[in-house]
Structure 1
Amino acid sequence: MDAAKACMETVRDCRQQLQDNAKVFLTRDPDSNHLHKMRVALRRMRSTFGISPHAFDETAFSDISTELKWLLEELGPARNWDVFVLKILPPILAALSQEHDFAKLQQSSDVLRRKNRDRAITAIESHRFQALLLELKAALAHDSWLQGNASSIGHFANLVLEKCYHNFRKRGRSITTLHPEQLHTLRINGKKLRYASEFFLPLYPARSAHSFLTALSGLQDTLGAINDAVTANHLFKELPDVDLATSCLVKGWLACETRQLTGQLDLQWKQFNTIAPFW
């Protein structure tokens, strides 16, 4: 199999994941995992299009990429509020609820969570979403966009992985001094490296890749937690009539958590850089 056809199979799998989880999400299933899986499928598709210009015509999916970005933007706020209500708030309430009443904060957060889930549902129920699924299906039904001189999958894998690895390490220099926007960019580059690694993993010995992927996943988890804390601070501004005491408690908690995570990130980054790439 050449690189282009391998990428095509990845897009096909992502489309199916998107469609299957959208169906469950529309049942108003309270499990936020289906929303998360939809966003992962969208990001994987965008990443595949982004790393594959040598495998197929890079303009072939330009219109589809625009629609994938639109859908991510429609689903993003719902996911952010899921994280805020289900992940950020519970430990804060468990630790501090005896000293402070968080009822108003909980109520307002639930209202905004439902509002943004309704926005996500509206997007998935729209004709625009159905058109996106049909466009993807049509693109996958023929191979006119495949490059005639597409490289072998092994050669292509090495090129892509090396490029993603170089970009990730470059972005992570002086990691403890990076501000939130730079850490967010580093996190995105880490996702691209992880997606590419998982995509090409069957081509390499599993044992040699295990340590690399374990270290990379740990970094991604920490970067994700830092990003969640930063996002939570932004979301907090959307909450109506939050009293000063509640605001100080939550923001103080998030600041302490971010400080701890940043220290953890430094150690993880050093450990990651001691592991040789598996390709």
Structure 2
Amino acid sequence: MLTLLWKQNLWSCSYTATRKEGFPMNNRDSGQANVNASVRSVSSLDDKSVSRLTKHMSVPAAFFALADPVVGQVTARAHQLVSQGDAETLHKFRVALRQLRALWWAFAPLMDSAQAKLERDEFKRLAGVAGDTRDWDVLCALLSSARQCSAIVENLAPALAVQRELALSSTWATLKHADIETHMRSVLLGTLRQLEEHGDEPVNKFAETRVRKAEKALRTSIKQAHRHKLPDFDALHEVRIAGKKLRYLLEFFAPLLAGHHDKNIKRLMTFQTQLGNLNDVVVSEVKLRETPLSGIGENDLTQTLNWMTKEKTRRLRAAQRHIRRIKER
């Protein structure tokens, strides 16, 4: 099966002839250079890879068609981060890794369970490499959008910029010493070898089963969150995680599923945005409380934290109301 996949040229990563300075390359691939980020869209799943799925496609072929483009996205964004590290690239790098975690979860019953968990944990760790820098971006964006803090933001901005640069330096240092391209390709091919024994199994029924499993997990998390009389961030965060997983699976397996799921995906995206906004203010408040910032007046810091506390309460209540509406449907 692996030989067949290679012959069919399903490995779709495109390479440029130049290498970004400082990013380690695999010695065996010295004639190849970085993945060309311009050929990939990271904000959503690769349309071509999804559209080429068919109900009679084998499990390994379907997995490869879905995983290969996202692996390429991770590699491309990692190379970009080493040279620039802008907020959008950081975000898309993390999104692609979350998509891989969802995909590995989906196919986990057909893999070695311990190995699959290790790989999902590694995807999470890699996302965490950019997490601290991303958190500072979120904090800056949150304060910039707050009219109540507009006068204070100018005083906070220099200190926040320093912290962001420190976090980015740490991100760069880790990525420069991590051969992500080699690692990601090795993980992908290793997983394909595990799936070879399922080469004669069509993927459509398997996909439907895993989507139902993700739907059940989301319903359970919503039920748990609804039981709290007062809004509980941890419970709502579990809803957010379960919702993301289901959304990614619906996007991955759309051509294989009965019916149309566009409306479900849109509903999930809307709710994810609301829960994401809540997560932003919670993470930002913790960041601001726990990080010593030089040159910031106590009064400015107190006013900002007071606004964040009120905003967190408002967003918690809004999310809890949404949970109740879902339960009442």
Q: Settle same-fold status: TM greater than 0.5.
A: yes
- The AA in structure 1 aligned to 2:210 is V
In 2: Cα distance, 1:268 partner to 1:184 partner: 14
In 2: Cα distance, 1:149 partner to 1:2 partner: 6
In 1: Cα distance, 2:132 partner to 2:200 partner: 38
In 1: Cα distance, 2:278 partner to 2:170 partner: 26
Number of residue-to-residue matches in the alignment: 268
In 2: Cα distance, 1:144 partner to 1:263 partner: 45
TM-score in terms of structure 2 length:
0.72
Match of 1:209 in 2: 261
* 1:25 is aligned to 2:81: yes
- 3-state SS in 1 of match to 2:109: coil
**Do the aligned residues in 2 keep the contact of 1:108 with 1:240 (CA within 8 Å)?**
yes
* 1:107 is aligned to 2:161: no
In 2: Cα distance, 1:147 partner to 1:243 partner: 64
In 2: Cα distance, 1:184 partner to 1:201 partner: 25
**Do the aligned residues in 1 keep the contact of 2:75 with 2:180 (CA within 8 Å)?**
no
Greater displacement, 246-255 / 17-26: 246-255
1:134 CA displacement: 4.3
Match of 2:222 in 1: 172
- 3-state SS in 2 of match to 1:54: helix
In 1: Cα distance, 2:204 partner to 2:90 partner: 33
In 1: Cα distance, 2:270 partner to 2:222 partner: 14
Select which of 108, 120, 129 maps to 2:180.
129
RMSD: 2.6
Match of 1:7 in 2: 63
Match of 1:55 in 2: 110
What percent of counterpart residues are identical? Answer: 21
1:73 CA displacement: 2.0
Match of 2:291 in 1: 238
Unpaired runs of 5+ residues, structure 1, are none
Unpaired runs of 5+ residues, structure 2, are 1-56
5 Å-filtered alignment, 1:1-279, equals 1-28=57-84, 30=86, 32-85=87-140, 87-92=141-146, 94-98=147-151, 101-136=152-187, 138-139=189-190, 143-148=193-198, 151-173=201-223, 174=226, 177-204=230-257, 208-236=260-288, 237-241=290-294, 242-270=296-324, 272=326
Residues 51/240 of structure 1: CA separation in 2 closer, same or farther (3 Å cut): same
**Do the aligned residues in 1 keep the contact of 2:281 with 2:308 (CA within 8 Å)?**
yes
In 1: Cα distance, 2:138 partner to 2:251 partner: 25
TM-score in terms of structure 1 length:
0.84
